Structure 1
Amino acid sequence: MTVLLKVKERAVRPRSLKRELRKAGQIPAVVYGNNVVNTAISVDEKELMKALKENGQNAVYTLDIDGKKVPTLIFAQQQDTFNRAWLHVEFLAVDMDEKTELEAELVLKGTPAGVKVGGVLGQNLYTVIVSATPDKLPERVEVDVTALNIGEALTVADISKNADYTIMTEADEQIAVVLEAVDHEAEENEVAAEVTPEVIGEKKES
C-alpha cells in the first residue's frame, strides 16, 4: 500500500528550530537512502498520525518534497517517554523492486485446545523480521494456535508460508506455548502442611 505525504525541507540550525516546529504541529524528520541525499524535512503531525492509523507503519509512504516523489519506509522514530508523541522520524528511501527487511507484529489467532481444558497460553515472541518488496511488507503476521495442546509449542518454523514475503527470524525461535495451569492455592496449602511450627514453651521429648 502506498500513501502520499507532503513534507517540507527544513533548516537544521539552530537546534531550537525543532522545538518551534513541534509547537507548530510539525514533526522534524529526515529522509535518506536509495538515490536520495540525506535531507532534513518536516511532516505534519496530524496528517502522519492519520496515515499511520489507516495504513500501519509498514506501508510505503511516498514523500512529496517540493514536487519530487520519493517512495520511503518509516525506518525509525523517536517518541516522548511519557505521552508517546512522535518527536522525530527517519524515512528510508527505497527501490520498489528491491527486497528490504522490517519488523512485523506477531498476532496469535484462536483459542488453543489446551486452554479449553485448563491450560495457559504464553507468548514468547512478539515480532519477526520479514523480507519483501516495499509494497508487500506486512504490518502483522497471524499465527493459528488453535491446535496447541498442553505441553506443546509453536516456533517460527510453524508459520505458514506466504508468497508475498519471507520470514527471516531464526526458525527455532519459540512463539508460543501452552502450559499446565498452576494451582497456587493448592501449592501454598501443601507447603503449609509440610511445615510444623514449633510451639514456644512446649516441652520436647528427650
Structure 2
Amino acid sequence: MSVTLKVEEREVRPRSLRKQLRHEGKALGVVYGYKVESTPISFDEKELVKVVREHGENVLVALQIGGKKVNTLINKLDMDIFTPTIKHVEFIAVKMDEETEVETDIVLVGEAAGAKLGGFLSQTLFKVTVAATPDKLPERIEVDVTELAIGDSITVADLPEEKDFRVVTEGDIQVAAVVESTLEAELEEIEEAEAEAQAADADTATDDSEQTSEEQAEENKEDKE
C-alpha cells in the first residue's frame, strides 16, 4: 500500500515563518535517509492526518518534492495530545528492495468462546516488530480469538503466518489469554475454603465423638468391675 503526499521545501528560520505556515494549515517535518540529504519540508496537515487515520503509520508514503518522488516511511510522528494536529513528522527515505523493521499493531478479532461463558479476554501484547520491504509492511495483524476457551492463550508464535513479512518479536511472548472472571474466581476460592473448613470441623467432631465414646466405654467397664 502506498499513498502520495505533496510536500514543499521550507526554510528553517525565521521562527515567524514556521508560525505562518502552521497558520495556513501546513504541518512541518523533515525528510532524510536513502540518497536524500536532510531536508526541512511543509505539507497539508489534513492530508497526512487522513492517511494515518486510514492506513496507520506503517504506510509507504511517496513524497512529491521538487519534481521528484521519494519513497519514505514515517519514522516519528509528533501529535498534539489535546488536538488531532501534527506538531512535527520525520520521514525516512527507504530503498524499496531492502527489508526494514517496524512495530505494527495486534488487533484481536471476534468474541472468545470462553468470554461467552463468563471468562475475560485479556490482551497483554499490543504491538510486535515485523520485517519486510517497505511496500509489504502490514498496517496491522489481525488475530481470530473466537476459539479461545477459558484457560487458553495465544503467543507471538501463534500469530498468522504471512508471506509478505516476518515477525521478529520472540515467539514465546503471550499476546492474549482468556481467564476466569476475578469475581467468580474469588467466590470459588471462598467456597473451597469454606468447604475445607467444614470438612476439617467434621473430622474434628468425629474424632471428638470417637474419643468420647471410647472414654464412656472405658468408664462403663470400670463401673462393672
> If the length of structure 2 is used for normalisation, what is the TM-score?
0.79
**AA in 1 matched with 2:150:** I
2:27 is aligned to 27
1:178 is aligned to 178
The 1-side partners of 2:170 and 2:48 are apart by 33
Name the SS of the counterpart of 1:151 in structure 2: coil
Task: Tell whether 2:65 aligns with 1:65.
Answer: yes
Task: Tell whether 2:100 aligns with 1:103.
Answer: no
**AA in 1 matched with 2:94:** V
CA distance 1:81–1:53, change in 2 (3 Å) = closer
**AA in 2 matched with 1:45:** E
- Residue correspondences, number: 190
Name the SS of the counterpart of 2:57 in structure 1: coil
Name the SS of the counterpart of 2:182 in structure 1: coil
**AA in 2 matched with 1:120:** F
Say which structure is richer in strand: 1
Name the SS of the counterpart of 2:90 in structure 1: strand
Alignment of 1:69-108 (within 5 A): 69-108=69-108
CA distance 1:56–1:39, change in 2 (3 Å) = same
The 1-side partners of 2:52 and 2:112 are apart by 32
**AA in 1 matched with 2:92:** L
Structure possessing the higher radius of gyration over alpha carbons = 2
Deviations 1:78-125 (A, max 9, x none): 111211411111001001111111111100012212112110001111
Task: Tell whether 2:65 aligns with 1:50.
Answer: no
Name the SS of the counterpart of 1:183 in structure 2: helix
**AA in 2 matched with 1:137:** L
**AA in 1 matched with 2:142:** E
Task: Tell whether 2:143 aligns with 1:139.
Answer: no
The 1-side partners of 2:170 and 2:18 are apart by 40
- RMSD of Structure 2 on Structure 1 (CA): 2.0
Following superposition, the deviation at residue 146 of structure 1 comes to 1.8
Unaligned 5+ residue runs, structure 1?
A: 195-206
The 1-side partners of 2:69 and 2:84 are apart by 29
Say which structure is richer in helix: 2
The 1-side partners of 2:55 and 2:112 are apart by 30
The 2-side partners of 1:111 and 1:51 are apart by 29
1:15 is aligned to 15
**AA in 2 matched with 1:19:** K
Unaligned 5+ residue runs, structure 2?
A: 195-225
Task: Tell whether 2:162 aligns with 1:152.
Answer: no
Task: Tell whether 2:123 aligns with 1:123.
Answer: yes
The 2-side partners of 1:176 and 1:17 are apart by 48
CA distance 1:55–1:121, change in 2 (3 Å) = closer
1:39 is aligned to 39
2:209 is aligned to none
The answer (yes or no) to whether the contact 2:154–2:176 under 8 Å persists in 1 is yes
The 2-side partners of 1:129 and 1:36 are apart by 26
Deviations 1:145-193 (A, max 9, x none): 1222212211101112110000111211111011101227x75xx6xxx
The answer (yes or no) to whether the contact 2:45–2:85 under 8 Å persists in 1 is no
2:217 is aligned to none
